[in-house]
Amino acid sequence: MRLAAVTKRYGSGAQAVTALDAVTLGFAAGTFTAVMGPSGSGKSTLLHCAAGLERPTGGEVTIGGVALTGLRESALARLRREQVGFVFQSFNLVAALTAEQNVALPLRLAGHRPVELSGGQQQRVALARALITRPAVIFADEPTGALDSRTSREVLELLRALVDRHGQTVVMVTHDPVCAGYADRVVLLADGRLVDELAGDLSAQRITARMSRLESTC
């Protein structure tokens, strides 16, 4: 997957917000990337554009060699269904369905209702739903933000295993340097721009140091 000079603007005129500003970034197959940056820096917008949930204002997103710009809505929806899994912090489970029906949703197959489950159980169902089709790319937007540390660790180990054992590609937004340490690489956003990239030693200490350097220069 690749983003080439991807720009996303919301609104127009004096109200316009540039949420993403010409971001160029490759995501090799079978790698785990953590996306970090201050609130409002464009992390969610980056995920939404990369996953084909939103169309960029400029630039190009390519998934599996297919440029998304040229696709009609129906082809884009099919590519998303077949290649992409998305996990949100708020789970996005359908309250009217059982946990099993939520998991089966992407396969259009028709117990417990999600509201009767704990946060950790709901996130497992959301993960199962995102993963059941074995998507090539999995996007997770602060998937552990609402979880206790033990359940967070389970979710992160699962994402790591998808990359290591199944060669899937994971892109995860997180605020937590410890969570980011499960990735192969950390990319840092500020004001919609890609401002730093770390690989190798992803200790919480090193990530925190880079982030604070970023804050002091802005």
Query: Near Mg ion by CB under 5 A, which window of 14-22, 43-51, 164-172, 183-191?
Result: 43-51
- 44 interacts with Mg ion by CB under 5 A: yes
Which residue's CB is nearer to Mg ion, number 44 or number 123?
44
45 binds, among ligand ADP, Mg ion, none (CB under 5 to 8 A by kind): ligand ADP
Angle at 102 between CA 96 and CA 107, to 5 degrees: 130
Tell which one of 5, 16, 17, 199 touches ligand ADP (CB under 6 A): 17
Q: Per CB under 6 A, which region of 21-29, 43-51, 80-88, 176-184 contacts ligand ADP?
A: 43-51
The answer to whether the beta carbons of residues 173 and 196 sit under 8 Å apart is: no
Q: Which of 172, 179, 128, 152 is nearest to 32 (CA)?
A: 172
Q: Of the listed pieces 42-50, 145-153, 157-165, 202-210, which binds ligand ADP according to CB under 6 A?
A: 42-50
Pick the stretch among 34-42, 106-114, 155-163, 208-216 that binds ligand ADP (CB under 6 A). 34-42
- Give Cβ neighbours of residue 97 (< 8 Å, ≥ 6 apart): 105, 113, 114
Site string for Mg ion, 138-177 (x = CB under 5 A): ----------------------------------------
CA distances from 11 to 15, 17, 52, 80, 105 (A): 6, 6, 19, 25, 33
CB closer to ligand ADP, 10 vs 161: 10
- Output the CA–CA distances (angstroms, integers) from residue 105 to 76, 85, 100, 126, 180, in the order listed: 18, 12, 9, 11, 29
Shortest separation between residue 28's beta carbon and ligand ADP, angstroms: 23
- Least separation, in Å, of the C-beta of 43 and Mg ion? 5
Residues that bind ligand ADP (CB under 6 A): 10-11, 17, 19, 37, 39-45
